[in-house]
Structure formats: C-alpha cells, structure tokens
Amino acid sequence: MSEPRKPAEEYVVVRHRPKSRLRRVIIVIVFTIVAAAAGYAAGLAQGGFRFTSVEASNDKLENELAMLKIRHREAQQQLVNLERGKLIDKQALNQTRQTLVDLETHVSRLKSDLTFYKNIMAPSETSKGLQVDRFSMVGDRQTGDYSFKLVLTQVGNNKSYISGVVAVNIIGMRDDEKEVIALRDLSQEIEDLGVRFRFRYFQDVEGKLTLPDGFEPLEVQVVAQAEGRKSSQAERTFNWDDLTEN
C-alpha cells in the first residue's frame, strides 16, 4: 500500500527592500531625537524662568535688607541723639535748679543784710546801743573743726565809736557734769579771755574752734561789755543745735 502523499510545502515570496527598512529606522530615530530635544528645550525654558524669578527675588530681598540696614542705622543714631538730648536736658535742669538755689540763698542773704543795716540805722526804742547781733558756725566733717562768726552792732547813735570787750563761752556736758569752756581755750585765733572791739556801726569776730574729746556742746554764751561814756552790756545765748543744723 502506497503511503499517502504529503501536501506540497508552500513558499511565500517577499520582495526584499533593504532601503525601505533603513528609512523607517532613521525616521524613528529622528522622531526620538526631535522629541527629546523638544522636551529638553521645554524643561530648559521652564528652568530658565524659575532661575530668573529667583534672581529677581534675591535682588529684591537684598534691596530690602539694604534699606532695613539704613533705617536701623538711622534709628540707632536717633536713639543716641535722644539720649544725648535727655542727658543735656537733665544737666541743664540740674544747673537751673542749682542756679535757683544760689539765687534764693543770695536773696536771703541780701534781705538779712538789709534788715541788719536797717536795725542799725533805724532801730526801735527797745533795741539801742551795743547789741550781739548774731553768732553763726559752719562745721567741717573731715577735721571736726567749726568756723565761727560773731557780729556786734551799735544801734541808734553811730556818730561816735563804741569800744570794750566781748567774751564767748561754750556750755556743755562732759562725764555727766556741766562744763563751761572759754572760746580762748578752743580757738588758736583767740588769745585773751575777752576779745577787744571798737567800731561805729558793727564789727565781726571770726575764727575756728575745735571741741575736746568727750565734750557735748549745748549752748554758746556771748557777753559784750562796752566801756567809757557808752558803758553798757549786751548778752545773748545761742542753742548749739540751732547753730549747727545747717
């Protein structure tokens, strides 16, 4: 028995076109390159805009920072000027206050001097002749010494001189006992127990005194004795605390 006959194999004839395939490959490659270039250009453009925006923002911030620095320096200078002005105003105010105090002190002294001369030239009926007008003291805290000033006046009749002696005693306590110390024993400027005076209107007796240790002063006693035709006596006692409270 004869074997069955196999069908004959079929062959397809394809036209070989090597140039056409190469063309398609080239087209794909070119398209890919163009697409990549377009994407890169778009990205570069976007990146370029962002960079430009950052540069603009940076310039703006730098300008604002520069302006803030200028304003900060101006504010600092203004503060310094205000502080200086405040200090100057304070100094001027203190100086003005001190000037007012000095003027008030000077006016007070002028009033006191005016009253002093008025009393000498136009006294009352009860205050004529030799007078112990005043006794003042200023203490030195560093040395413990006191500067004193005694003023004697002749009130009323000033046509002739009046002369005599004046004695000053410091009355106080030492060791719980009362003690009277003559000014002569406390001051190097006073040599005699009584200080001689001679004047028509007034006379000052000035000097310094130093208190002994353990002595507590209470009063200053002044006794003036006129001699001759105008013989008279004037006496006055001053409280130590009143003399030294200033």
Range in 93-97, 177-181, 209-213 the model is least confident about? 93-97
Considering the domain boundaries, does residue 10 fall inside one? no
What is the chain's mean pLDDT, rounded?
76
Provide the pLDDT confidence category of residue 73 given band limits of 50, 70 and 90: confident
Q: Encoding tokens for residue 18?
A: 């090597």
Residue where a domain stops, chosen among 76, 92, 122 = 122
What's the average model confidence in pLDDT over 48-54?
Answer: 49
Gap between the Cα atoms of 193 and 189, Å rounded: 12
Residue where a domain stops, chosen among 105, 122, 139 = 122
Whole domain around residue 110: which residue ranges?
Answer: 18-122
**Number of domains, the chain:** 2
Considering the domain boundaries, does residue 209 fall inside one? yes
Of the candidates 242, 236, 232, which has an alpha carbon nearest to the alpha carbon of residue 222? 236
Considering the domain boundaries, does residue 11 fall inside one? no
Considering the domain boundaries, does residue 8 fall inside one? no
Q: What is the pLDDT of residues 148-203, one digit of tens each?
A: 999 998 887 778 899 999 999 999 999 989 999 999 999 988 888 889 999 988 89
Residue where a domain stops, chosen among 122, 144, 176 = 122
What's the average model confidence in pLDDT over 37-55?
Answer: 52
Q: Is the pLDDT assigned to residue 239 strictly greater than 90?
A: yes
Considering the domain boundaries, does residue 4 fall inside one? no
Residues 91 and 162 in one domain: no
Q: How far is CA 157 from the centre of its chain?
A: 55
**pTM across the whole model:** 0.53
Residues 159 and 73 in one domain: no
Residues 149 and 66 in one domain: no
